[in-house]
Each structure stands twice: as C-alpha cells, then as structure tokens.
Homo-oligomer: A and B are copies of this chain.
Amino acid sequence: MSDSNTRNIQWQSGLVERSERAALNGHPGMTLWLTGLSGSGKSTLARLLERRLHQHKIRTFVLDGDNVRHGLNSDLGFTAEDRRENIRRVGEVARLMTEAGQVCIAAFISPYRADRDRVRNIHPAGLFHEIHVSCPLEHCEERDPKGLYAKARRGEIRNFTGIGAPYEPPESPELVLRTEQDSPEACITKILDYLGGHGVRVQTR
C-alpha cells in the first residue's frame, strides 16, 4: 500500500504544438537566463530588454529573483539548499513560459554552475540561452544599489555571493555582457543582435 505516486501519473501531451505557438507569435519561446553578481545590472537589463522586446511585439516576461521570492519561493531562504531549490523552481517556470511561447527573461544571481546547467538541461535543445552579466566584484560593491554588500561586509548577511559565498562564472555562456565597460543600451543592442540569429528579429539600426 502506498500513497498515490509517480507510477500513477500519466504524461499528458498538449494539443497545441510548439511550432504553432511560434507561428502565432512570430517568434519562438525561449529562456534568456541572466546570471551575475548582485549589482552587476541583471535586473536593469532584464527590464530594459522586456520593454524593448515588447515594443517590437515580442511576447516577453521577466522572472526576477527579488519578485519570485515574494510569491512562488516565499518559503525559501538563502541557505545553499534553499538557493538550489529557488533556482530549480524558477528554471521550471522558465521552461513552462518557454513552452507557452514567451521569451522569458530570468534574472538571477544563480551562482552555482550545476544549478544553471540543470535549468539548461530541462529546456528543449537550443531554447535556453545563458547570458553572463559580467562585472568585477569591486565595481558591483562600489555600486551596491541595495546596500547589500555593505551589510555583508558588516557581517549582517551571511553567505552573500562574492563575499561569504562563491560565484561560479559560466564556462561557455551564449553571450557575455561587460556592464563595467558598456552602457545598458549597448548591452541591450548586443542581446538584440544575438536574438536576431535565433528567430527573434528586432530592428536595432
């Protein structure tokens, strides 16, 4: 005798194909995964990008570390285990958004390579795009838009990425943005140029 379990679960395939959703929208669904240190500019870029894509009739949606933690992941903290679960769940939602035909922009520190790779692996091939929002720690700490680095240095936040916990940069991301060199607008142009090669066409010049 057991509780209902996965043996009793039957996979139901949808009646609408991925290609039909893409045809309706004029672009495929996909996940753009922005990873980088706190203060590197992920959220700023995600929101500028969402705006720009929307103006060009691209269906898009931002999943944001700060926002998701109010809802889906409000039960999770910042231990290593909770961070892993945070990224796992967000990855699953991004995958669902991708299946739904949206260009899902996920902006998360997501410091661990293994966690990001797991998210990549649950996506259909070619629909997960890892974008490293790269910025030296000292620049991020100088910006410190939320005052979190200062708190971490004072010992008020434990396990803060870059201070008390590691950040593992992507080894072969689809795109690298250098926010200490390039303006937000220049970074957005780079993303749009990249997307142009992947079925999301937006006039940038």
Contacts and interface: CB of A to CB of B under 8 A. Distances in A.
A153 to B, nearest CB: 13
A62 B14 contact: yes
A190 interface: no
Interface in A1-57: 1-6, 8-12, 14-16, 20-21, 24-25, 43, 47-48, 50-51, 54, 57
Nearest to A67: B12
Nearest to A49: B15
B160 A12 contact: no
A160 B4 contact: yes
Residue among A61, A99, A146, A151 with the highest chain B CB neighbour number at 10 A: A61
Given A4-B78, A15-B51, A100-B59, A9 B155 contact: no
Contacts of A25: 59
Contact of A54 (B8, B21, B50, B92): B21
Given A15-B47, A15-B50, A93-B93, A66 B9 contact: yes
Given A3-B159, A4-B77, A10-B66, 4 more contacts: A2-B157, A4-B160, A12-B66, A16-B54
16 contacts: A3-B78, A5-B77, A9-B69, A10-B146, A11-B70, A12-B66, A14-B62, A15-B51, A16-B50, A24-B54, A24-B59, A59-B59, A61-B100, A71-B95, A89-B89, A102-B102
